[in-house]
Amino acid sequence: MSSPLLSLEDVSKHYPVAAGRGRRGTRGHVRAVDGVSLDILPSETFALVGESGSGKSTLGRAALRLIDVTSGAVRFDGRDVTGLRGAALRRVRPSMQAVFQDPLGSLNPRLTAGAIVAEPLAVLGGLRGSELDDRVDELFRSVGLDPSRRASRPRALSGGQRQRVSIARAIALRPRLVLADEAVSALDVSVQAQIVNLFADLRESMGLAYLFIGHGLPVVRHIAQRVGVMYLGRMVETGAVDEVFDDPRHPYTRALIAASPVPDPRVARERIVLGGEPPSPVHLPSGCRFRTRCPIARDVCAREAPPIVRLSPTRSVECHLAA
Ligand code: SF4
């Protein structure tokens, strides 16, 4: 097995919650991510799934050093990048890029699509003149855009075209890891498929690794090799996508899969309805965080935090009843 490209070791990100009007200090912390470890191999797509508020996006941002972690370590290509700042962090940035859900929000509306893609090449890559022009054309073609669209501004493009511009910009400096944070969630289903296939093609042609964050389990199953399931800041199950989706071991994973749309309506599926809303991330339940919604919770689940049970070298589940 090759060495990991990205390693997160016991990473936590906690946000203080202000005490309230007229009071000083804090009344607790939101444990957005709480002691998560994972490795992503070169050219691998690792997906994170879970409900809104599970900590997926926070973990993605921490992995790319877009936010500081509260504790734990982030290693990229064998180097500890957890504490990098300023110029040292800027030197690592080209290797770790991101594509977000809303390209309109992340693309400068005053720039043309061509200028948006050219910017990192000129500023960080030092390209000028015809060399810059040729590279922008090449990038447009590699994401399935006709270079004639270079003169268009983001608002004049369709949602799918805008996302292709975002991807062209993200891959301009030949990164090794791309965070795709809900990057297809806002697109029509047919366009989603095109962009997912584009991600897969770029993985093949450029050897890219992805941290892919999404709600849609069919999309995750299509694009990822491994998946991590997050619940209230914890990674409750990880494994190869087929293992996890065909034989989920954590009650939360089972519920997520049961709640996911079935592509073939003739296929019957047991419906597991999750009881209630997730608890407050400031006042977490004792023991297992999932116990207030878990259909098979036992007394021990309230008393003790569940262990991480390793079912195989690539498979782990955080549950008292997983062994
Ligand atoms: Fe359910 Fe207990 Fe497992 Fe938590 S540890 S998921 S409450 S069975």
Domain ranges, ordered by start, for the chain: 6-318
CB of 289 closer than 6 angstroms to any ligand 1 atom: no
pLDDT recorded at residue 74: 98
CB of 291 closer than 6 angstroms to any ligand 1 atom: yes
CB of 230 closer than 6 angstroms to any ligand 1 atom: no
pLDDT recorded at residue 26: 80
For residues 320 and 308, is the Cβ–Cβ distance under 8 A?
no
CB of 154 closer than 6 angstroms to any ligand 1 atom: no
pLDDT recorded at residue 282: 87
What is the number of the ligand 1 atom nearest to the C-alpha of 300?
2
Burial profile 189-211: b = 16 or more Cβ within 10 angstroms, e = fewer:
eebbebbbebbeebbeeeebbbb
User: Strand, coil or helix: what is 122?
Assistant: helix
Is this prediction's pTM over 0.85?
yes
Ligand 1 mean position, distance from CA 278 (Å): 14
- pLDDT tens-digit map of 33-79: 999 999 999 999 999 999 888 999 999 999 999 999 999 999 999 99
Q: Which of 249, 288, 292, 304 to mutate to test the pocket of ligand 1 (most atoms within 8 A of CB)?
A: 288
Ligand 1 mean position, distance from CA 158 (Å): 45
Closest CA to 178 of 213, 209, 205: 209
Q: Which of 254, 284, 296 to mutate to test the pocket of ligand 1 (most atoms within 8 A of CB)?
A: 296
pLDDT recorded at residue 178: 97
Q: Which of 234, 235, 298 to mutate to test the pocket of ligand 1 (most atoms within 8 A of CB)?
A: 298
CB of 31 closer than 6 angstroms to any ligand 1 atom: no
pLDDT recorded at residue 275: 61
pLDDT recorded at residue 132: 96
Q: What span, in angstroms and rounded, lies between the C-alpha atoms of 12 and 70? A: 5
**174-180-182 Cα angle (round to 5):** 160
- pLDDT tens-digit map of 87-99: 999 999 999 999 9
Please give the order of strands across the beta sheet that includes 177-181. 96-99, 177-181, 209-213, 45-49, 226-231, 234-240, 315-318, 308-312
CATH topology of domain 6-318: Rossmann fold (3.40.50)
DSSP state of 301: H
pLDDT recorded at residue 20: 75
Low-confidence ranges of the chain (pLDDT < 70): 1, 261-276
CB of 306 closer than 6 angstroms to any ligand 1 atom: yes
User: Strand, coil or helix: what is 211?
Assistant: strand
